[in-house]
């Protein structure tokens, strides 16, 4: 569950990215966060894993006020979150397999069990036969699938994604949206920020609109 209580975010110089947001995303929902470029979608997503902290208000994730978490507790919060951001942060000097292995290695999962989980995640996104490929050898759609596999390999309860279908053709975008739906169907809470809702429309529980940092149409 994710709850925002009167959350605002201002940057130096008085720039207001978010203003007085209050909403709840229930466990098991698939919610689309929509809005124009610069509406504050990315900022909102970055507050959930405590990459950024709100200027005021509280962000509650699975019963924890992440706004007030000590730095040492943040890695434990993120173990329950799968995160896919626009820049993907793939490691281009490591294979597809090693990219997906990274979160499990950091969490100290035993090598044998981790290997099975990596291959299962790659299989779910249709990349099992490319496990030895370097990211540079993958298409844009395959790189996005790889980022998704890495996000879900630790079996998170919440999956958040920032424009996961940007720059993809329509067919690939629909495939990516269907993957998110499949994860949601097994109980994962999904929050996707996008300005292109069409691929997700058949699957979403509801949408939250942002306009200039405020809840809107």
Average pLDDT over residues 77-102: 91
Average pLDDT over residues 54-78: 92
The average confidence (pLDDT) of the chain is 93
pLDDT of residue 14: 78
pLDDT tens per residue across span 136-170? 999 989 999 999 999 999 999 999 999 998 888 89
Average pLDDT over residues 203-216: 93
pLDDT over 90 at 130, yes or no: yes
Instruction: Place 132 in a pLDDT band, splitting at 50, 70 and 90.
Output: very high
Instruction: Place 187 in a pLDDT band, splitting at 50, 70 and 90.
Output: very high
Instruction: Place 53 in a pLDDT band, splitting at 50, 70 and 90.
Output: very high
d(CA 137, CA 139): 7
Contact 140, 171 (CB under 8 A): no
Element of type H or E holding 107: helix 96-107
pLDDT over 90 at 88, yes or no: no
* Cα atoms in the 13 Å half-sphere on the side-chain side of 96: 28
**Residue 111, exposed/middle/buried by CB under 10 A (0-12, 13-18, 19+)?**
exposed
Residue 16 backbone class (left: φ over 0; alpha: ψ -120 to 50; beta: rest) = beta
Enumerate the domain spans of the chain. 91-154
pLDDT of residue 196: 85
pLDDT of residue 217: 73
């Amino acid at each position: 569950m994710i709850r925002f209580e009167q959350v605002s975010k201002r940057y130096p110089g008085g720039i207001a990215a978010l203003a007085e947001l209050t909403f709840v995303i229930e466990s098991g929902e698939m919610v689309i966060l929509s809005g124009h470029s610069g509406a504050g979608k990315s900022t909102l997503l970055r507050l959930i894993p405590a990459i950024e902290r709100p200027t005021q208000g509280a962000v509650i994730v699975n019963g924890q006020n992440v706004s007030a978490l000590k730095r040492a507790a943040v890695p434990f919060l993120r173990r329950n979150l799968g995160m896919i951001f626009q820049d993907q942060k793939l490691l281009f000097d490591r294979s597809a397999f090693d990219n997906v292995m990274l979160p499990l290695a950091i969490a100290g999962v035993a090598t044998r069990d981790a290997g099975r989980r990596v291959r299962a995640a790659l299989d779910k996104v249709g990349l099992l036969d490319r496990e030895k490929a370097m990211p540079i050898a993958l298409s844009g759609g395959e790189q996005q699938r790889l980022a998704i596999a890495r996000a879900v390999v630790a079996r998170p309860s919440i999956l958040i994604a920032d424009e996961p279908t940007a720059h993809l053709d329509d067919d690939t975008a629909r495939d990516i949206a269907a993957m998110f739906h499949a994860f949601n169907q097994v109980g994962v809470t999904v929050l996707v920020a996008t300005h292109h809702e069409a691929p997700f429309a058949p699957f979403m529980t509801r949408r939250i609109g942002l306009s200039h940092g405020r809840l809107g149409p």
